[in-house]
Homo-oligomer: A and B are copies of this chain.
């Protein structure tokens, strides 16, 4: 059996008993009932995911997956393709947004090359990044499939391998992405999996102007028309209109879920990966935490499809895992509320009047 199928089969629902035990404690904390709102909802989720009423959250790993996109040739981004590998160097040097926000929250950043169109072998050999390159960037999806079905499966399994390799040293995963033009395939995935009209869900990515936005909409529509991805076959969707880092992110979500580890999903590209994961294994959704609602207008359609309400809404549109890094503070806060705030009985505080 393939690693992909094994992993899908290994995903179990949340632990209902740990959830209800957590709820019972949260109901009794010295505060008006459920007065910490969504932090308490999240604490209950963490208990269900980890199967523990003391959910471990101290060891946080953000996996930033990088890949390039043949569709960049259609002029859908504001930046040249070389920026993908330049930003990988920035991550390695610790000077990018994700490094700064991860340091603040005490998370480790692990960068994985799933398909950057540059030779990053030296960084891999030096142990600076994880090498899981499927190919030197995808093909141009506006003219044919972005990748082969074998490459699609390989990219997902590479993500699962990353999750498995990091699981022993990780309590909570965060996701991140880097890849010039990758809002374009993410938009196509969203359109195919939900049937939403492309113009409604196509955003400005790195900040493109009106003319480029029109072109981007046309490119996504053409990619879908040329490739006719089968919405009932997530692997076909990834093959036709996906990206290697998006496949890797889908695999990371599946691997984390199979290991019962919460996974904090960042922005538009990460959530596209999570949609592929949940299309393959709906139970994977039990382990997802939506970090934030990005500026990318399609993001809310993704959350709605996944049944998730994001924790933050700060007009972010960077990716890299930056929203996940910020949300990890709330994840840790939720776990601490569950484990450290006293109950009425423990603190001898008078309860509400009957």
Contacts and interface: CB of A to CB of B under 8 A. Distances in A.
A342 interface: yes
A99 B232 CA distance: 49
Interface stretch (A9-17, A193-201, A222-230, A322-330): A322-330
Contact of A353 (B80, B97, B312, B314): B80
B295 A97 contact: no
A83 interface: yes
A32 B319 CA distance: 10
A39 B37 CA distance: 23
Copies of this chain in its oligomeric complex: 2
A73 interface: no
A312 B315 contact: no
A349 interface: yes
A326 B326 CA distance: 11
Contact of A348 (B33, B86, B97, B105): B86
A78 B326 contact: no
Interface string A7-48: 000000000000000000000011111011111000000000
B96 A341 contact: yes
B316 A97 contact: no
Contacts of A314: 36-39, 311, 330
Contacts of A33: 207
B313 A313 contact: yes
Contacts of A317: 32, 35, 37
Interface in A340-354: 340-342, 346-353
28 contacts: A30-B87, A30-B97, A31-B97, A35-B97, A35-B207, A35-B318, A36-B97, A36-B316, A36-B322, A37-B295, A38-B314, A78-B352, A80-B350, A83-B350, A86-B347, A86-B348, A90-B349, A93-B347, A96-B342, A100-B333, A100-B337, A101-B336, A103-B336, A103-B340, A104-B332, A311-B314, A312-B312, A329-B329
